[in-house]
Amino acid sequence: MGVMNPLQTLDAAVDPSCCVPSAKPALSVEEAQQKALVFKALADPNRLRLLSIVKAEEAGESCVCDLTGPLDLGQPTVSHHLKILVEAGILHREKRGTWAYYSLVPGALDDVAGILSGL
């Protein structure tokens, strides 16, 4: 498996000191790298549009064929962006037959907001 997805490994258990404004040591290099991975995944306009489309979908999921059109990108490029979002722990991929359906990982965006408030 090699590398775990950043959002699953980030503060899985809530830090008990979260509500105590004690002097926090600055982010370690490793923590910073982990958290930067999530923001890197969000740091592309086309990936933000992908998320926006997936989130807006009634069914909560979209297949790749529904995503290539609106983005004006080639199919390989869309697949590439989706992979990055999955590896960041933001999207979930489920293959059913020939189609691959992508959906928001529940709470993933809230977790990102948590990174921000926890600095």
Q: Which is nearer to a copy of itself, 29 or 95 (CB)?
A: 29
Instruction: Choose the contact partner of 9 out of DNA, a copy of itself, none; CB within 5 to 8 A by kind.
Output: none
Q: Identify the three-state secondary structure at position 44.
A: coil
State yes or no: residue 63 binds a copy of itself (CB under 8 A): no
Query: How many CA within 13 A on the CB side of residue 90?
Result: 25
Selected range binding a copy of itself among 8-16, 40-48, 77-85, 95-103, rule: CB under 8 A: 40-48
H/E segment holding residue 100: strand 99-104
**Spatial distance between the Cα atoms of 65 and 16, rounded to a whole number of angstroms:** 44
Please report, in angstroms and rounded to a whole number, the separation of the first and last CA atoms in the chain: 28
Sketch the per residue contact string, 62 through 91, with DNA: x for CB under 7 A, - otherwise: -xxx-------xxxxxxxxxxxx-------
**Spatial distance between the Cα atoms of 3 and 5, rounded to a whole number of angstroms:** 7
Q: Which is nearer to DNA, 18 or 32 (CB)?
A: 32
The residues of the shown chain that bind DNA, judged by CB under 7 A, are 40, 43-44, 46, 63-65, 73-84, 93, 97-100
